[in-house]
Amino acid sequence: MALPRTIAIDGPAGAGKSTIGALVAERLGYLFLDTGAMYRAVALAASRRGIDPDDADKLSDVAKKVRIMIGPPTKQDGRAYTVLLDGSDVTWDIRSADIDRIVSQVARVPGVRDAMVEQQRALAGQSRVVMVGRDIGTVVLPTADRKIFLTASASERARRREEELASRGERRARQDLLHEILRRDQLDTERAVSPLKAAEDATVVQTDGLSVREALDKVLAAIQRP
């Protein structure tokens, strides 16, 4: 059976898109692109420049100028991939609590999204790709050969986030993480530009109670179906 050339995996914050997407790409030998990491990198660049997350013009300018590269992991520290911002490794910097708080504001700016979508489509045109995000199947790659919407309850996503942080020696209250996830869900689903939603032709995969291996098997089965 011929495999799809483009695979879009969407879903809310903490649903496991990055982990599952990277594993799918590794299993199939595809390019992996986490578009959420790109928006986080823009948010980090803006934060380092002291730009207000509500300043759409300056955020759009930053998005056009920064160089973001996502590639295979360069360190064995739990990362699924390495993110470079203007040549510097920011893989974990973009996962900080400060970036968690502003990334949805940054990502909702039309100029930022335009700049990132242009890069994302260019990459998708170069090779077989697994692309994960929040609007891949609906906006970035609406004609993707296979679309998956990966999701989980907010409480489950908060638990996973708590465990992820703990594995890096960071401690945060699960209730605080749940509050942030619910806020991001609201911002992502209600934004005027490219809101988070499942594409009409996407296969929805609910991952509550599933191990990473079990979730991966479900996604692979959906991808490989006739």
Element (H, E) at 150: strand 146-151
Does position 1 have pLDDT exceeding 80, yes or no? no
Task: Provide the Cα torsion 51, 55, 61, 66; round to 10°.
Answer: 40
- Compute the residue count for the chain: 226
- Tell me if 95 is assigned to some domain: yes
- Tell me if 97 is assigned to some domain: yes
Alpha helix (H) ranges present in the chain?
17-28, 35-48, 56-65, 97-107, 110-124, 154-167, 174-190, 212-224
Opening angle at CA 192, ends 186 and 193, nearest 5: 105
Give the tens place of pLDDT for each residue, 64-88.
999 998 888 899 988 888 999 999 9
Q: How many domains does the chain have?
A: 1
Which strand ranges, in their side-by-side order, compose the sheet holding 82-85? 68-71, 82-85, 88-89
- Tell me if 224 is assigned to some domain: no
Contact 62, 52 (CB under 8 A): no
- Tell me if 164 is assigned to some domain: yes
- Tell me if 226 is assigned to some domain: no
- Tell me if 94 is assigned to some domain: yes
Strand-pairing partners, residue 7, are 130, 146
Give the tens place of pLDDT for each residue, 26-66.
999 998 999 999 999 999 999 999 999 999 999 999 999 99
* Owning domain of residue 168: 9-218
* pLDDT score recorded for residue 71: 83
> Any idea what the CATH number is for the domain that residue 90 is in?
3.40.50.300
Of all residues in the chain, what percent carry a pLDDT higher than 90?
78
Give the tens place of pLDDT for each residue, 212-225.
999 999 999 999 98
- List Cβ neighbours of 182 (8 Å cut-off, separation of 6 or more): 154
Give the tens place of pLDDT for each residue, 132-147.
999 999 999 999 999 9
- List Cβ neighbours of 109 (8 Å cut-off, separation of 6 or more): 56, 59, 60, 63, 193
Task: Provide the Cα torsion 108, 109, 115, 121; round to 10°.
Answer: 30
- Tell me if 3 is assigned to some domain: no
